[in-house]
Chain A
């Protein structure tokens, strides 16, 4: 049964990937990428890696899709036709993919009890001792937050660094300032166009700006 599920999910993955390559509509490509992540999450669940599946579903299918859509709102919805024949990229991709598939022959077989990961003393320690050393049932959390807490701090730092990088590249976000004008606070926008619109009416013009209490502001 699990073989059938695996083959079905992997087929979906391959079909989705081919569809992403074929389509020139970037909106469709982004949606397909979200589906790809969701199918990957299903595959991880079938492999009993529920924590990874959870992250893939939340980050890959959720936030990434929204960020892609935000990018599309800036760059347009249609991909231009490539100026040259994609022969060289195809060769590079086929060679790299072939090397990766060849490399998997050196990996230990899936789910065999004598694999190095099952025989290492560290894994035994985690499974046998974490119950009373850390005192929580989820070994993944024990390893992530306690045994390997230093690594996880590095991960959190990497995520923070990513934000710094994005902000350096896309320097100005919607950063209104609250300014005290003698008797009341008012909202100042750096962009005069936004400032001109009275902030009480909440009228917007950006890709995600479609609101106004009176109605009528079209998306644009």
Chain B
């Protein structure tokens, strides 16, 4: 799409806003609609847009496929790890009350961490799937 200068410039301008909007959706999830699932998809969509306009090869250089796979696993591990930590602190699995002295603060930390885990997993899975689909053609000829 080298001749599509408007498309390239529009994409280039939009991508930072898409990524920041994903973070807004993530961290505003406590107050309005949003959360890790939506934020992860939007964050991945920023990279997908980059790949559609500037090519898969450059996207792979920015965000290598192994990073997306690692993200997919790391998010679930972070989520499950929060549960293990609460158990180690002497409470039930995923009972965030014990994460801080004040149970309400503990809930805040717990929700922040598990939503972050969801964000990382969803981002890694969505982009990893896109790589899996989009990358086949260039390898199979």
Contacts and interface: CB of A to CB of B under 8 A. Distances in A.
Given A63-B48, A134-B107, A149-B114, A73 B137 contact: yes
Contact of A174 (B2, B52, B56, B125): B56
A67 interface: yes
A211 interface: yes
Contacts, number: 213
Interface stretch (A86-94, A102-110, A188-196): A188-196
Interface of A: 50-51, 53-55, 58-59, 62-63, 66-67, 70-71, 73-74, 132-138, 140-142, 144-146, 149-150, 152-153, 155-157, 159-160, 162-163, 166-167, 170, 172-176, 190-191, 193-194, 199, 202, 204-212, 215-217, 219
Nearest to A169: B132
A179 to B, nearest CB: 14
Given A204-B138, A209-B138, A135 B38 contact: no
Given A74-B136, A208-B55, A145 B65 contact: no
A71 B133 contact: yes
Contact of B60 (A166, A176, A219): A176
Q: Is the interface of A mostly helix, strand, loop or mixed?
A: helix
21 contacts: A54-B25, A62-B45, A63-B126, A136-B30, A138-B30, A141-B111, A144-B35, A145-B110, A149-B83, A153-B83, A159-B121, A173-B65, A173-B135, A174-B138, A175-B66, A175-B135, A191-B138, A191-B141, A204-B138, A207-B138, A212-B2
Given A62-B41, A156-B121, A174-B65, A167 B132 contact: yes
Q: Main secondary structure on chain B at its contact with chain A?
A: helix
Size class of B's contact patch? 35 or more
A206 B135 contact: yes
B31 A170 contact: no
B12 interface: no
Given A53-B33, A159-B72, 6 more contacts: A63-B48, A70-B134, A173-B136, A175-B66, A191-B139, A211-B2
Contacts of B30: 136-138, 141
Given A150-B93, A175-B66, A145 B135 contact: no
A172 B139 CA distance: 8
B85 interface: no
B73 A206 contact: no
Interface string B1-43: 1110000000000000000000001000111111101100110
A66 B125 contact: no
